[in-house]
Structure 1
Amino acid sequence: MSETSRVLLVDDDELTLQMLEATLEDDYKISSVTSGSEALARCAAETFDLIVLDVDMPGLDGYETCRQLKANHASAEIPVIFHSARTSIDERLQGYAAGGADYLPKPFDAGELIAKIGLVLSNRAKQQELSGQLEETLNAVLSTADMMGEAGVVLEFQRQLGTCADYPDVAQAVFDALQRYSLEGCVRIQGRAELFAGNGRGPCSALENSILDHLISQKEGQRIRPLGPHTGFAYGSVVLFVRNLRMDRGGIEMDRNESERMGRAIDNVAMLVEGAIVRVAALDTELATRDLADVRHLVSMTRGALTDISARSQAQRMEILRAFEELTEEVELSFVKLGLTDDQENFLSNIIKKQAAKVMGSLDQSQEVEQFLGRVIHKLNQHG
């Protein structure tokens, strides 16, 4: 988060503007206006890094203001965080369709506002770093798109899936296929290895994540769902949201050929998602196989270590027994040579008996440990 980032606040309520300014003025260079038309004029004359935009305003509302900002090349890349008391999924979808990066409820929480701005600015910086590479890749994809029919896109996607080594590779294959259909969207992949969520430019925005959460939260059964003029595909481990792909085309005027093209596109995208699920399952199986091999190696090492410990314990027990036998023999011989009295011999014998009891107790404990290790080794041999 940079202290020099310029943030434009747009709200027709002066008190709300004052509260927003007080929250952000220590970290950002703040400008504020009270209408959508003023916001368009300021963005035409100045450069901003982010806009916090009220939805409900007289004249141009927030959605229309955002659409006009995105239609202007000079302001198209400025991320917009909508600010509204209306936060239903339909409202968030309108914000997403207009080009918003996130949606902040009213009344706002200062911590949430600061966190959302920091995340949006961070994602924008990452996207700018990758913009050169992405533009080159997009040009390469678009140059080959005209040579491939709709079926060819699916076949090329299946071929590309075979080279995918992880979830981000699978997601990129989906985005490449969508681009060949002149579509775009965002995807979330949840498998054994990790959780991945992104769009064709980088990580999902907070608004995109909220839409994917909505798709996941719906009841099982309907895998393909309309979301206004968009379509969601919820297939368990893979959830995809495709922008401007209509399922419900009966209530709008649309050329018959275009309507049929969209219908085929929905079927083709569904096949893309199904192919992605198969590849994710294969990657998960490969990971499980590697994990099982690691466990077997660990069991083998443990079995070897326990066997070695058991052998050492047995050798130590035998050594102690030999030492005790030698001590007893030497003491008995010393009785004859030293000419000790009966009391002295009894005194020494008692000392030897006490030490012998300690030694035997230690040997008994050692034997119990050895028996336990033997049982463990037996079980490992059964499962190894």
Structure 2
Amino acid sequence: MSKNANILIVDDTADSRLMLSAMLEGEYDVEEVASGDMCLIKVAKSIPDLILLDVEMPGLSGYEVCVKLRKEYQSESLPIIFVSGLDSYEERLAGFEAGADDYIVKPVEPEILFAKVSHCLAQKNNINQAKDSASEAMGIAMEAMTVSSELGQVVQFIKDAQSIRDADEVGKAIINIISSFGINSVARVDAGKVIYVDCSEESMEAKVLARFVEHNERILSVGIRTIIRDPHIVLLIKDMPLDDEKRCGRFRDHLAVLMDIADAQLANIKARNVMLEQRQEIFTQVISVAEEQIKKTTTRLFEHDQNSQGIMHGMVSELEGMLFGLGLEEDQEKKLMALADQTSLQLQETQGQTKAVSGELGSILESLYDFFNTLNEPSINKNQ
């Protein structure tokens, strides 16, 4: 990772800031602030490459700062790593819900710090490169555009591609625009999962596309058929208009732009899917632990109720057997038995409370399930 990457450390404890700075200064440009408010002021002036953010601070907490950064600034790809002495699953979950990319527990191990910082910066670099590539291709295309219908469609594809969040839809979009030019094509897209567009996986066309993935040439033409390869998409043109030299040349120019835009967006989708899978894996672990703990707690509560009821019933039965030998008067016996019955009823009421507590624990688990389902329906899989 570049030594010029700028890292902002946000921590109200001077010793913590000093420790983190000492670990990072040899590899990165490091800046420090002592509060969440100062962090927001600093980011408003200049967005760093990565933020190491403490959780517990006077004024704004780290969670509140993270939420504000995600809402108020163009910081979607800004890596934010919480560095905290809080090590519970609830705290980690709260960090990811606030929008953080990772979580490090104090005291910080240098190896863990460097690994997580390097990983987050690499992810950011991949996303930025994809955006830069798309922007550069768009700029080149816009300079060369005319008022012709074909060029207008290319411009529209460039605009629409930026909002596509599904690899299959990227492939369909490029096939559709090529079809609008009166030319037939099929595609193989790969943003972590291979998808064939307008041909079946068992077809000869799919086998040709798969074989060309590792080909040395980016473009291969055989008669009217042309294959174009980029890292995340391979396109087979089935009927290049070789009989019309001007149209064929113009179409080749269009393809260069379309492929660059499609490949950049697929790279962006792949990088973001990797981040999502990591968050889903962590949350799956959180749910597993919560399920086990709630199961154990519920079992212990009901076992406690059953033991208490058994003890009480045994005491009442023993008391009834002893009354005859105590020589009590009838009204005294009734009062004593009434007291035992009242105590038994009160114990039964606590059993009802145990069921309520068990239900509340179940509701907490249901909430975790609901949140996990939202992670399985991310916006990156939908057109926005």
Same fold by TM (over 0.5)?
no
Q: 1 or 2 for the larger relative contact order (CA 8 Å, sep ≥6)?
A: 2
- Given the two structures, how large is their TM-score scaled by the length of structure 2? 0.43
- Given the two structures, how large is their TM-score scaled by the length of structure 1? 0.43
* Greater Rg by CA: 1
